[in-house]
Copies of this chain bind each other. A is one copy, B any other.
Amino acid sequence: MSVQERKERERAVRERLIVATARELAEQQGWDAVTTRRLAERIEYSQPVLYSHFRGKREIIGAVALEGAAEMAAALRAATSAVDDPRARVTALAHAYLDFAASSPAVYDALFQLDGGLAFAQEDTPELLKDAFAALLESLEEVAGGGVHPGVFTEVFWASLHGFATLTRSGRLPPEYAERRVELLVDRLAMV
């Protein structure tokens, strides 16, 4: 029994190593550079080992996304918890979101841009993803305004931030007015 337990433990360690290495490589050189060959070489195993942990590259992206969702939720809560004023809290939330997207672009892509095989906005959505959305909602529901569904309001705010993040990083939005865009968005969307 103990032998099997040790093996399972070692397998789990190696699986975390794969995910961490994939993430590291993606942040360093982009997801295009995360090939199964390079990834295998970095973890010092052969390619087929990857497929004994994940069905394919997509699932590895999904694993990085889940890890990222947890970190993002934590970052959002950390940035908002110390702020008392509801409106200021929303501003802090927006900045924390955009900072996360800018400082961890590969993780952000795994979450919101690439196909990691994860279900969103459904029953079988992983709890970590639901919780990341919940982290947004917690700061947003109180400024949604009367008669507006907090979930829908959160979706609108989130989609806007997502647009900022992706269009800015791909060079389609100029960086110079980033702050004014955030101010305008919060000013107009947040009631009170």
Contact = CB atoms under 8 A, between A and B. Distances in A.
Interface of A: 112-113, 115, 119-121, 148-149, 151-153, 155-156, 158-164, 166-167, 170-174, 177, 180-181, 184-185, 188-189
Interface of A is mostly: helix
Contacts of A112: 167, 170, 172
Contacts of A113: 170
Nearest to A120: B172
Contacts of A156: 160, 181, 184-185
B181 A152 contact: yes
Contacts of A177: 149, 151-152, 155
A181 B163 contact: no
A72 B170 CA distance: 20
Contacts of A174: 121
A40 to B, nearest CB: 23
A142 to B, nearest CB: 16
Given A161-B163, A188-B188, A188-B189, A155 B171 contact: no
Contacts of A163: 158-163, 166
